[in-house]
Amino acid sequence: MATGAVPAEGGGYTGPVETSALLDPRLLIVTGKGGVGKSTVAAAVALASARQGARTCLVEVEGRHIFSRLFDTQAWDFTEREFRSGLWGMSIDPEASLREYLDMFYGARRLSRLVASSSAVEFATTAAPGIKDVLLIGKAKELERRRNPDGRFCYDLVVLDAPPTGRIVNFLRAPDVTTELVNVGPIRQQAQSLIDMLSDHRRTNLLLVTMLEEMPVAETLDSAAALRGLGVAIGPVLVNRVLAERTDKAASKAMAELSAADLQALLVTAGVELDAEAATALLDAGAASTKRLQLQRRQRNQLGKQLQVPTLELPYVYSERFSADELGILASVIERAVEG
């Protein structure tokens, strides 16, 4: 963390995180530009981790019920539930986090229930905007540190579907800001323990999700620079919704030179009759796809040249409704990457 932060012992910079080590940390904070597939990728990472035998908890922070729809489960709330073997899910809300926090530190359940009403949370949030983020990260830390009676950690991995890159720097700086405001006491200690977790490269990695399009790539490059300044470790960048290259250069060239009449004639030999308009539409679709693939290649180069962080590409999965099956395809790609 940038200011006043004391990194945890032994948690300093350890070089770029290889793709094979994607699932190694204890907390993965998944972020990216709005709409690139952060939630989908967070779910796929969690699923891959659980399938690899790690006890994994997937955490939603914005209460949009994305995961319960994706996995077709009942609505998620503040109570973790194991909805697949080795895979738990929960939805953090700041009000419940505040109640739990007060309970933990002051042991006053009745008092805290009174204090942690919506208006108290609203008051705290308005007075110190970072407090909500501190509460969210605090809950993630509680999950990350929680131990069973036998002393072993409850979860091997916690995956947090975090706010988008536009908000991530302030989100991650919230504990730092709190230590600047509060010098002593349990709140200060709690904030410092969050800084320790976030700046320990073995415990916490940030996963940036992007797509091979101009705006998401530009935003990824910008945020990687800002995040490096914070001292948080960036894991492999997950490049989502990558279109498959189905033709080589020669085939693309041949297709580009084909006229509607050529295509009609070719299809007739295969017993298919298309009118000129339909043949033109088919050629246009082919040309649009070729253009899209060229853009994809350009953006891949751009990302590779400027980011210098390992990347893992996840395919665009065609389907009418993206559900657990489609998620399984992405999880398999992640599993293959970590298996090497």
Ligand X SMILES: Nc1ncnc2c1ncn2[C@@H]1O[C@H](COP(=O)(O)OP(=O)(O)OP(=O)(O)O)[C@@H](O)[C@H]1O
Q: Which residues bind Mg ion (CB under 5 A)?
A: 38-39
Strands 87-91 and 204-211: unpaired
Say whether 198 sits in a helix, a strand or coil. helix
Nearest-CA neighbor of 135 among 165, 103, 110, 166?
A: 103
Residue selected from 210, 240, 296, 299 as contacting ligand X according to rule CB under 6 A = 240
322 binds ligand X (CB under 6 A): yes
Q: Which is nearer to Mg ion, 162 or 224 (CB)?
A: 162
Give residues 27-66 in contact with ligand X (rule: CB under 6 A): 32, 34-40, 66
Answer for the pair 125, 27: CB distance below 8 angstroms, yes or no. no
Q: Pick the piece of the chain touching ligand X (CB under 6 A) from 79-87, 121-129, 213-221, 309-317.
A: 309-317
241 binds ligand X (CB under 6 A): yes
Q: Which is nearer to ligand X, 96 or 314 (CB)?
A: 314
- 290 residue type, one letter: T
Q: Which is nearer to ligand X, 12 or 34 (CB)?
A: 34
Partner that binds at residue 37, options Mg ion, ligand X, none, CB closer than 5 to 8 Å by kind: ligand X
The site for ligand X, by CB under 6 A, has a size of 17
Partner that binds at residue 13, options Mg ion, ligand X, none, CB closer than 5 to 8 Å by kind: none
Secondary structure element (H or E) that encloses residue 101, with its range: helix 94-106
Nearest-CA neighbor of 83 among 327, 338, 262, 329?
A: 327
Instruction: Please report how close the Cβ of residue 128 comes to ligand X at its closest, in angstroms.
Output: 25
DSSP alpha helices (H): ranges in 147-275?
Answer: 165-181, 185-199, 214-230, 249-257, 260-269
The DSSP letter of residue 52 is: T
Partner that binds at residue 35, options ligand X, Mg ion, none, CB closer than 5 to 8 Å by kind: ligand X
Partner that binds at residue 26, options Mg ion, ligand X, none, CB closer than 5 to 8 Å by kind: none
In angstroms, rounded to a whole number, what is the distance separating the alpha carbons of residues 92 and 136?
A: 7
Q: Which is nearer to ligand X, 78 or 322 (CB)?
A: 322
In angstroms, rounded to a whole number, what is the distance separating the alpha carbons of residues 133 and 27?
A: 16
What are the tokens at 29? 């904070």
Residues that bind ligand X (CB under 6 A): 32, 34-40, 66, 164, 240-241, 314, 316-317, 322, 330
